[in-house]
């Protein structure tokens, strides 16, 4: 429970800034914002890709995805003397519009779920030192691009805590809060009645494949392998806003498989809850949403950088199964059908990483900071 402070100049204005949506960073922002009492703070969501409606999405996504997928490349571009002319361009391109937005909305505090927004809002030329600035980190490990000048850092694991401390951030500013997961993932579902409601059979295993922004190749691999296994399976493909993927998967048929294709849905927890296994990448939020529901995860084709490190971490601790090739994916799918108990054990191990009240505790700490 978050206590309401004595009467003051409330509600304050709290900005959650993320890269683009749909994304794990946006989902993390929503998870924390759900617990902010509206009598204390109004919540404003700021999407960096909307700052410039035409040029903004392309430029923002390029920088954001370089930072997420290949941080070493980002570091080379950012620090190499050959690119010194580019260095000030990165923040200045967005600075004026973001600052105008922050001033216009009378923002009292900023919560960034992506390092790029922290880099921008903490830049000295922004002159926003009077505004509290927080980071919510959404991967198992924290890379070195988080600024050192923020008020607080909320991380999901001790490993991320240690990464930040090694990068010069004082440990008293870092809280191992756990990963913020939306309230709906705490709901209890009756699997059989929920499957019936979603048009799924309770007698055939349900595989969830997270399509999102990926190409069709990895999904074709999974469908082909499931079909070749000789076992019946129901496959729910979450396509996000990828219209090309929706169209191409709609035309894809495989013997033994019942395929259900879903566009972006705000609340996928019902489908997560009825799944028997997910085949997908290793995005931080997805991992912990599965952890909340004790669901097994076969990691396949994680993005370079953060997701590969997430996959290695989970595999080492027997919290997930990591298939590093199409051949290994075929073997792991075979393992699922022959030894369901070991997969259930993986789901239990994954659940041990989950802190149920993470989003609530983060929001409580933020409220405490901005009202003190």
Residues 243 and 95 occupy one common structural domain: no
Residues 130 and 221 occupy one common structural domain: no
pLDDT of residue 180: 98
pLDDT of residue 84: 37
Segment 142-183, tens digit of pLDDT: 988 899 999 999 999 999 999 999 999 999 999 999 999 999
Q: Answer whether residue 6 shows pLDDT above 70.
A: no
* Residue 361 lies inside a defined structural domain of this protein: yes
* Residue 208 lies inside a defined structural domain of this protein: yes
pLDDT of residue 170: 97
Residues 96 and 112 occupy one common structural domain: yes
pLDDT of residue 87: 41
Residues 69 and 199 occupy one common structural domain: no
* Residue 5 lies inside a defined structural domain of this protein: no
Residues 165 and 191 occupy one common structural domain: no
Mean of pLDDT values over 120-130: 86
Residues 137 and 253 occupy one common structural domain: no
* Range name among 66-80, 197-211, 241-255, 274-288 with the lowest pLDDT average: 66-80
* Residue 17 lies inside a defined structural domain of this protein: yes
What is the strand order of the sheet 174-176 is part of?
A: 41-47, 12-18, 109-112, 132-136, 152-155, 174-176
Residues 150 and 50 occupy one common structural domain: yes
Mean of pLDDT values over 257-285: 91
Domain residues for the domain of 169 are 12-181+356-371
What total number of domains does the chain contain?
2
pLDDT of residue 211: 62
Residues 97 and 149 occupy one common structural domain: yes
Segment 86-102, tens digit of pLDDT: 344 454 666 788 888 99
| Residues 289-311: b if buried by 16+ CB within 10 A, e if exposed | bbbbbebbbbbbbbbebbbbbbb
| Separation of alpha carbons 225 and 265, rounded Å | 26
Closest listed residue to residue 65, CA positions, set 212, 200, 187: 212
Find how far residue 202's CA is from the centre of its chain.
29
pLDDT of residue 334: 96
Residues 127 and 268 occupy one common structural domain: no
pLDDT of residue 63: 55
pLDDT of residue 86: 39
| Separation of alpha carbons 242 and 245, rounded Å | 5
89 Cβ neighbours under 8 A, 6+ residues apart: none
pTM: 0.87
* Residue 41 lies inside a defined structural domain of this protein: yes
* Range name among 60-74, 77-91, 164-178 with the lowest pLDDT average: 77-91
Looking from the CA of 54 toward its CB, the CA atoms found within 13 Å total: 0
* Range name among 74-78, 279-283, 322-326 with the lowest pLDDT average: 74-78
Alpha helices in 13-154 (DSSP H): 24-33, 56-69, 71-79, 89-104, 115-121
Most confident of 73-82, 135-144, 168-177, 225-234: 168-177
CATH code, 84: 3.40.50.2000
* Residue, of 90 and 227, whose pLDDT is higher: 227
Please check whether residue 264 is in contact with residue 241, taking contact to mean a CB–CB distance below 8 angstroms.
Answer: yes
Where residue 69 falls among pLDDT bands split at 50, 70, 90? low
pLDDT of residue 82: 45
pLDDT of residue 88: 41
| Separation of alpha carbons 301 and 215, rounded Å | 11
Strands 206-210 and 233-238: parallel
Q: What are 67's two structure tokens?
A: 């930072």
Residues 153 and 216 occupy one common structural domain: no
| Separation of alpha carbons 294 and 37, rounded Å | 29
pLDDT of residue 10: 82
Cα angle at 293 between 196 and 303, to 5 degrees? 105
Angle between helices 24-33 and 358-371 (to 10 degrees): 70
Residues 163 and 30 occupy one common structural domain: yes
Mean of pLDDT values over 22-51: 92
Residues 327 and 270 occupy one common structural domain: yes
* Residue 364 lies inside a defined structural domain of this protein: yes
Residue 336: how many CB atoms within 10 A of its CB?
22
* Residue 4 lies inside a defined structural domain of this protein: no
* Residue 1 lies inside a defined structural domain of this protein: no
């Amino acid at each position: 429970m978050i206590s309401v402070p004595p009467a003051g100049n409330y509600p304050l204005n709290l900005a959650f800034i993320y890269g683009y949506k749909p994304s794990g960073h946006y989902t993390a922002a929503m998870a924390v914002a759900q617990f902010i009492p509206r009598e204390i703070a109004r919540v404003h969501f700021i999407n960096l890709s909307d700052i410039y409606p035409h040029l903004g999405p392309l430029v923002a996504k390029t920088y954001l995805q370089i930072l997420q997928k290949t941080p070493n490349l980002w570091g080379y571009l950012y620090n190499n003397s050959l690119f010194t002319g580019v260095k000030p361009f990165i923040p200045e391109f967005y600075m004026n519009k973001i600052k105008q937005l922050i001033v216009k909305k009378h923002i009292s505090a900023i919560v960034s779920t992506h390092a790029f927004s922290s880099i921008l809002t903490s830049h000295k030329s922004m002159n926003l030192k009077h505004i509290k600035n927080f980071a919510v980190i959404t991967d198992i490990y924290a890379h070195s691009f988080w600024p050192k000048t923020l008020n607080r850092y909320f991380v999901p694991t001790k490993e991320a805590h240690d990464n930040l401390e090694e990068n010069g951030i004082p440990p008293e500013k870092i809280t191992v809060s756990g990963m913020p997961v939306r309230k709906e993932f705490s709901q209890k579902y009756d699997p059989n009645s929920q499957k019936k409601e979603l048009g799924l059979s309770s007698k055939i295993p349900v595989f969830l494949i997270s399509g999102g922004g990926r190409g069709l190749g990895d999904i074709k691999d999974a469908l082909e392998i499931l079909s070749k296994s000789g076992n019946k399976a129901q496959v729910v493909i979450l396509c996000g806003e990828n219209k090309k993927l929706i169209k191409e998967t709609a035309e894809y048929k495989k013997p033994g498989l019942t395929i259900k294709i879903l566009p972006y849905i705000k609340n996928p927890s019902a489908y997560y809850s009825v799944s028997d296994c997910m085949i997908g990448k290793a995005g931080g939020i997805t991992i912990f949403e599965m952890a909340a529901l004790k669901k097994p995860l076969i990691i396949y084709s994680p993005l370079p950088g953060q997701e590969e490190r997430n996959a290695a971490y989970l595999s080492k601790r027997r919290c997930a199964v990591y298939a590093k090739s199409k051949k290994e994916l075929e073997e792991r799918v075979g393992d699922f059908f022959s030894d369901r108990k070991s997969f259930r054990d993986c789901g239990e191990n994954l659940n041990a990483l989950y802190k149920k009240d993470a989003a609530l505790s983060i929001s409580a700490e933020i409220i405490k900071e901005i009202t003190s």
